[in-house]
Amino acid sequence: MCKTEMEKEDDLLDQLWKSRSLAMERIRGNRQHIILVASLIDRIPNLAGLARTCEVFKTQGLAVADAKIVQDKQFQLISVTAEKWVPVIEVPVNSVKQFLEKKKREGFSILGLEQTANSVPLDQYIYPKKTVLVLGREKEGIPVDIIHVLDACIEIPQLGVVRSLNVHVSGAIALWEYTRQQRL
């Protein structure tokens, strides 16, 4: 029995669909074992930039307070489609502490990027493979109740007079250092 042209086209489309699905799974898979928690951040440009950075470094996920942020036009412009490739996890501000405790039970080390009396300079810290990295609010940093959940605080050594970097820039530097260490 001879296949009709329509059946042949259906077979080709089916093969193409399966091939595309496998390619998408490979792209989405093979992620680094780091989750960036940005739930305390509310400025769209910072969140979109962090989404883009998370995609570039293939993080396991980006936690945000409201996952609907990815539908915002400004977010999409800045993220340059990153929200389609990086898993976005909704963790409302009032659930951050519980999320971190859950991840700790799953074997993740919980780090905060924060300047404290006990912070370890980023270039002296050895990241555990399974890491959750918490970023603080744009001006106030990480709240005390969250600091108590952290296994460690890391900070970016600074030489200038200005006390801090933009949260997106800080997150990008910290993710790069994690990536650099994992590549060694």
- What pLDDT digit, counting tens, does each position of 78-102 carry? 999 999 999 999 999 999 999 999 9
- As to burial, measured by CB atoms within 10 angstroms (0-12 exposed, 13-18 middle, 19+ buried), residue 160 is exposed
Query: Given a cut of 60, is residue 28 above it in pLDDT?
Result: no
* Same domain assignment for residues 74 and 131: yes
Count of domains forming the chain: 2
pLDDT at residue 54, as a whole number: 98
* Same domain assignment for residues 62 and 111: yes
* Same domain assignment for residues 90 and 109: yes
Evaluate the CA torsion angle 34, 151, 90, 76 in order and state its sign. Answer: negative
* Same domain assignment for residues 22 and 84: no
Q: Which residue has the higher pLDDT, 37 or 30?
A: 37
Mean pLDDT of 44-62: 97
pLDDT at residue 48, as a whole number: 98
pLDDT at residue 65, as a whole number: 98
CATH number at residue 114: 3.40.1280.10
* Same domain assignment for residues 77 and 19: no
Helix intervals (H) in the chain: 5-28, 44-56, 73-79, 96-105, 144-147, 167-183
* Same domain assignment for residues 105 and 56: yes
* Same domain assignment for residues 7 and 72: no
Q: Are 33 and 60 in contact (CB under 8 A)?
A: yes
* Same domain assignment for residues 10 and 87: no
pLDDT at residue 30, as a whole number: 86
* Same domain assignment for residues 93 and 168: yes
Q: Global pTM?
A: 0.85
End-to-end Cα, the chain, rounded Å:
58
* Same domain assignment for residues 22 and 91: no
> What residue numbers bound the domain in which 9 lies?
1-30
